[in-house]
């Protein structure tokens, strides 16, 4: 039986003609799984040329996956759909060669066309905008850095009780993204197709995984200890945010306000996280609930010291700690294994309490890394291989079948000028 693909494509030009780009995505029609993405900055061309280039990229990607597959093209360009369907004549000289080239990619009998409203074409639209943004920076679009799929799902129509989105408001394709754009976490208003897409066929037999519990993880802003890379856990001096950290908290608050509504804010009990959470809560008009389970690790006698100072004073203890997650810092404190057990228990409690909703957790380096490590099923030693900046955003979504999906890690775009 021939496979069936859905190709969604779009193109945009900021000026028409102006700096332009396209985006295309190939989806398995049976499972909803995203199979391929393509995007490219085109330089200065018209909107229609960019749309046709997106169609070409999508058809070629589908052909490369399976040249015998049937393909259903969905675009929000009435012009392209009607011209490729043969209902409208192609008069513009720039369009004719592109349409002819698109018609040659696959046999006509294998391809059908459908016009869809723009709100149903968000994945491709965001890929096109990513390509234009990359071009503005003098770069080419990279699939490894793309978050278009997550952003598109985050603005999907809400379904189910208590659906909450951490999402970008729609923007015109001719408009650049808002300053300080933040990559979004997975929306909880997912339909069954999107849920299967995240959970990959074969992981679960559930016909509809429903909306996930999504934890948006915000690390607190800088303290005086942060630039010096000193150990700062739950057993030290409990420093306040520095002036830089307060500014970072405000930037994070503005970014979260732009990107969508978060219903609940939980914060570690330490001063720096409470201050960061307060800035966000004031901007969003929410209260802050203190959650002991997401406080930082207690680093014992190493609190306030740099890594070099610990190596100089306690070389054997440090060597053991780096090799064994169950080892404790000098003077007691908390091992990474103990932190992981605490975070896992807190995670399970919060998933049950906030199923189908998006919750902001304002916390610290080790808890955030541990949420990610647990979601990936990675060894505890992986904590030493993650970089997490002050006031960065990360996100993990948890589904009804027990699977987790890391949606974002260490995003600091909101902190850039």
- Residues recognised as catalytic: 220, 296
The structure tokens 């804010």 sit at 265
**Helices (DSSP H) in 116-242: which residue ranges?**
122-136, 148-154, 192-199
Contact between 404 and 370 under an 8 Å Cβ cutoff? The reply is no
Residues linked to residue 406 through DSSP beta bridges, in sequence order: 396
Query: Residue 273: CB partners within 8 Å, gap ≥ 6?
Result: 220, 267, 295, 362, 363, 364
Residue 96 is encoded by which pair of tokens?
A: 């004719």
- What does the CA dihedral 395, 30, 200, 209 come to, rounded to 10 degrees? 60
**CA triple 267-412-272, angle to 5 deg:** 30
Length of the chain in terms of residues written: 417
Cα–Cα distance, 242 to 73 (Å, whole number): 53
The position carrying tokens 């799984």 is 33
How far apart CA 382 and CA 130 sit, in angstroms, is 30
Tell me how far the alpha carbon of residue 129 is from its chain's centroid. Answer: 15
Look-up of token digits 């000026």? 15
Rounding to the nearest 10 degrees, give the CA dihedral for residues 268, 273, 278, 283: -110
């Amino acid at each position: 039986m021939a496979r069936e693909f859905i190709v969604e494509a779009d193109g945009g030009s900021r000026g028409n003609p102006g700096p332009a780009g396209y985006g295309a995505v190939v989806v398995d029609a049976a499972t909803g799984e995203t199979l391929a993405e393509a995007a490219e900055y085109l330089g200065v061309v018209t909107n229609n040329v960019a749309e046709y280039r997106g169609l070409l990229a999508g058809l070629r990607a589908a052909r490369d996956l399976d040249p015998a597959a049937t393909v259903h093209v969905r675009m929000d360009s009435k012009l392209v759909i009607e011209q490729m369907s043969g209902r409208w004549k192609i008069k513009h000289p720039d369009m004719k060669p592109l349409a002819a080239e698109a018609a040659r990619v696959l046999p006509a009998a294998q391809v059908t066309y459908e016009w869809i409203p723009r709100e149903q074409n968000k994945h491709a639209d965001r890929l096109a905008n990513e390509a234009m943004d990359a071009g503005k920076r003098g770069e080419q679009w990279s699939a490894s850095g793309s978050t278009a799929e997550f952003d598109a799902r985050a603005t999907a129509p809400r379904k189910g009780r208590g659906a909450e989105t951490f999402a970008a408001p729609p923007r015109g394709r001719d408009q650049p993204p808002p300053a300080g754009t933040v990559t979004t976490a997975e929306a909880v208003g997912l339909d069954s197709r999107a849920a299967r897409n995240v959970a990959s066929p074969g992981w679960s037999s559930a016909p509809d995984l429903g909306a996930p519990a999504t934890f948006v993880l915000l690390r607190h802003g800088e303290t005086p200890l942060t630039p010096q890379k000193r150990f700062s856990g739950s057993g030290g001096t409990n420093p306040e945010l520095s002036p830089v950290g307060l500014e970072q908290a405000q930037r994070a608050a503005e970014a979260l306000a732009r990107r969508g509504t978060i219903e609940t804010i939980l914060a570690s009990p330490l001063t720096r996280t409470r201050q960061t959470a307060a800035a966000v809560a004031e901007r969003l008009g929410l209260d802050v609930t203190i959650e002991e389970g997401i406080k930082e690790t207690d680093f014992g006698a190493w609190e306030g010291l740099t890594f070099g100072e610990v190596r100089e004073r306690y070389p054997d203890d440090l060597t053991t700690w780096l090799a064994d997650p169950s080892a404790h810092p000098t003077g007691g404190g908390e091992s990474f294994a103990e932190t992981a057990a605490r975070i896992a228990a807190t995670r399970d409690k919060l998933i049950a309490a906030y199923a189908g909703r998006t919750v902001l957790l304002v916390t610290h380096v080790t808890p955030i890394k541990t949420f990610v490590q647990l979601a990936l099923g990675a060894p505890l030693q992986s904590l030493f291989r993650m970089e997490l900046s002050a006031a960065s955003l990360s996100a993990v979504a948890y589904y009804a079948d027990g699977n987790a999906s890391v949606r974002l890690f260490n995003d600091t775009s909101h902190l850039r000028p």
